[in-house]
Amino acid sequence: MIEGLRRGKPAFLASVTDANEAEIALGGGADIIDCKDPAAGALGALPLATVRDIVGRVAGRASVSATVGDLPSDPEIMTAAAIAMAQTGVDVVKIGFFGEEDPRAAISALGSACSRTTKLVAVLMADRAPDFPVVEALRDARFAGVMLDTADKSAGSLTTVLSLRQLAEFLRTARTNDLFAGLAGSLRERDIAVLTPLGPDMLGFRGALCAAGRQGAIEADRVIAVRRAMDNARFANVAPETSVA
């Protein structure tokens, strides 16, 4: 399990582009600060120096994760990128698998090179026919967790791409393999009450925190609104079984 999930499940991940946005996200109640460049793709990587600045500004007040970019599932390319990102001091390195190649060789290489010193989280693309059985390979490679996201941010929220039953299946598969499980992908504030009863370990946000879309700047009032909605949903008495019918 990823450290820093102080508020219980689901944790609130906020994707930020610089240290100032990290401060805003922390002030609004985010549990995990995620370093990402939304202008560079679904999982665009920030410059290593920017990630180091964010890690320094957070200074242990929350867990920090970082994406390595929209990369092909090439073992050498992914391993080099993960090692470089881990050296910035982040707690978690996120690796995206876009469904264009079989990721198992890359997963195995990443596990061998990084998993003993770095927490690795795989990101599967919900709009690219995600291969849920690959979660077993992630477990074998000693990944810490797995997330669902979307590659095409114009296609709508994760909840419009996969049904609640499919999302529940993904979460069950992750739990069966003892992996941290997160959901992201153009999530809006209204998605929180729908997804929380499924029991994800984390919900991730970017666009919902920005007035001008995911490439705009994070705004404090939007961060606070998401934090409040997550707290309200956590304490609502909604049974998971009624949410996936």
Q: What is the CATH number of the domain that holds 125?
A: 3.20.20.70
Say which residue, 88 or 154, is predicted with more confidence. Answer: 88
Task: Give the pLDDT band of residue 199 (cuts 50, 70, 90).
Answer: very high
Residue 243 has pLDDT above 50, yes or no: no
What's this model's pTM, rounded to 2 decimal places?
0.92
When the pLDDT of each residue in the chain is averaged and rounded to a whole number, the result is 92
2 part of a folded domain: no
Active site residues per annotation = 36, 94
156 part of a folded domain: yes
Give the residue numbers spanning the domain of 107.
Answer: 11-243
Structure letter (DSSP) for residue 99:
S
185 part of a folded domain: yes
For residues 211 and 218, give the distance between their C-alpha atoms in angstroms, rounded to a whole number: 7
3 part of a folded domain: no
Residue 45 has pLDDT above 80, yes or no: yes
4 part of a folded domain: no
What is the total count of domains within the chain? 1
**Cis amide leading into 72 (omega within 30):** no
| SS3 readout for 178-229 | CCEEEECCCCCHHHHHHHHHHCCCEEEECHHHECCCCCCCECHHHHHHHHHH
62 part of a folded domain: yes
Say which residue, 242 or 67, is predicted with more confidence. Answer: 67
Q: Between the CA of residue 223 and those of 12, 111, 199, 227, 243, what are the distances in Å?
A: 10, 34, 21, 6, 26
6 part of a folded domain: no
1 part of a folded domain: no
